[in-house]
Structure 1
Amino acid sequence: MNAAALLHLLQFASPALPIGGYSYSQGLEAAIEGGLVHDAASARDWMARCLDEVMAHWDAPLLWRLLKAFEARDAAAIALWSECYLASRDTAELRAETVQMGYSLARLLAELGVADVAPLGAGQGTGQGAAQLADTSLPAAFACAVDALDIPHEEALLAMLFSWLENQVLVCVKSVPLGQVAGQRLLLSLRPDLERAAALARTLPDEALSNWSPGLSMLSMRHEVQHGRLYRS
């Protein structure tokens, strides 16, 4: 991996990227509210299970397919896997999360001159660009950035998983609360889990993909009406 690609990856996978990632917890805030996550051990268990049961079997494999679809310039595959991801967001807040962040990242890419939004489904010459861009999923926008910046796919997949994990740790540091050192210890201890999730995502066949996580969906539904919440999901 050359220096330019590494620096691009560090920029576009960073939680500091202005697309609003810090404002979402992806159900974790509801788990903390319900007492399912209450200390470092339970936080680690939550993240490890989400990595294994959700990220490795759905989010990461879909990103991997989108990366390959962009590489092949396969517009039909890009649309298919992005639509599958949107359809898998089974609560209003989870769908709003990926649509808002996907829209923000796609707009950022266009404004920076990194990539045209057209590969994400925005119509050229149809007057429908803004409306279609509004339904861009975050994985599709991220895959577009990776392709435009010539970032290696394996490293991009790991970076996406690490960015998700880092955000989950930050939620726990703020809301459990955990100390900063405990948060960094969690990141270190979950490195093998990240590597396994990435390895599985690269090899999982289409028929084995699954977003079956009813407990997480129910927590997200509860979070939508949770009183005094800090996060948008």
Structure 2
Amino acid sequence: MSTSEEGARPAAISATDPAALYRLLTWLSPAFPIGGFSYSSGIEWAVEAGDIGDAAALRGWLATMLTNGSGLCDAAFLAHAYRAAELDDMASLREVAELAAAFVPSRERQLETTAQGRAFIEIARSAWNCAGLDEAVARCESIVYPVAVGLVGAVHGVPLGPLLHGFLHALTSNWISAGSRLVPLGQTDSQRVLAALEPVVAATADRALLASLDDIGGATFRADLASLHHETQYTRLFRS
């Protein structure tokens, strides 16, 4: 990119600029090779335990994860990482990255979010590098997935609002994909679940934009237990 060669960050992109849409569709596509298809965030155990057995149960489980669990927490961490990187506030970025890593409730979820975060950063460096990215990454000892997305989006000047909505859509779609294979669900039922969660995703994005670091927290105990139990589940398709 010419901006990288000149040593300056790209200018902020308008939300209606085709470049913003192009990058969002690329980075948050299921085809972007971060290995998201390998993880279920505990859904695999929830299906085996009988908590999720049909489309309605999956919809309810995911709505709770979005509103009171990792969906909201990750979205809020993304927003804070974005703002810190946008302001070149590396001390705050490091604090957000450390807190986001500490919030992960289980070993497998830690593997899931750190592996995807590393992959996202490395692919961005290889194919979408720009000035400021290496410096921001170097200030963080560990970068979980939502922090990686927020950091890369900020240094590329992609608007926070669309980036946040795209992230939550991708997260929800990946959960539904896992559920569709495990329950199993047909393609039409999977799309019905995604459509039903549209207002939940929008509301979660709005809450995340306003949340302070002190506001971040979850109350999805069953989902956290599912993630912990998955570590010793006898037969598994997913890594989490």
TM-score by length of 1: 0.91
Pairwise CA RMSD of aligned residues? 1.5
Aligned residue identity for 1:117: D
Residue of structure 2 equivalent to 1:227:
234
- Deviations along 1:134-180, one digit per CA (max 9) or x if unpaired, are x3211221112212322110000001100010001111111100010
In structure 2, C-alpha distance between the alignment counterparts of 1:152 and 1:196, rounded to whole Å: 18
Distance in 2 (alpha carbons) for counterparts of 1:102 and 1:207: 23
Write the mapping of 1:1-233 to structure 2, written as runs, cut at 5 A. 1=15, 2-55=17-70, 57-115=72-130, 116-121=133-138, 132=141, 135-233=142-240
Deviation at 1:208, TM superposition (A): 2.0
Amino acid in the other structure paired with 1:81:
V
Q: TM-score, normalised by structure 2?
A: 0.88
Q: What secondary structure is seen at the aligned counterpart in 1 of 2:108?
A: helix
**Aligned counterpart, 2:3:** none
State percent identity of aligned pairs: 30
1-side partners of 2:34 and 2:50: how far apart?
29
The list of structure 1 runs, each at least 4 consecutive aligned residues, that deviate by more than 3 angstroms after superposition, is none
3-state SS of the aligned residue for 1:52? helix
Q: Residues of 2 paired with 1:169 and 1:217: CA distance? A: 18
Structure 1 window deviating more from structure 2 (140-149 vs 62-71): it is 140-149
Q: Work out whether residues 102 and 138 of structure 1, in 8 Å CA contact, stay in contact via their aligned partners in 2.
A: yes
Give secondary structure in 2 for the equivalent of 1:117. helix
Distance 1:122 1:76, change over 3 A: closer
Say if 1:64 and 1:153, in contact at 8 Å, map to a contact too: yes
Identify if the C-alpha distance between structure 1 residues 176 and 60 changes in structure 2 by more than 3 Å, giving closer, same or farther. same
Tell me how far 1:55 sits from its aligned partner: 4.0
Q: Conserved in 2, the CA contact under 8 Å of 1:27 and 1:223?
A: yes
Q: Which amino acid aligns with 1:200?
A: R
Deviation at 1:211, TM superposition (A): 3.0
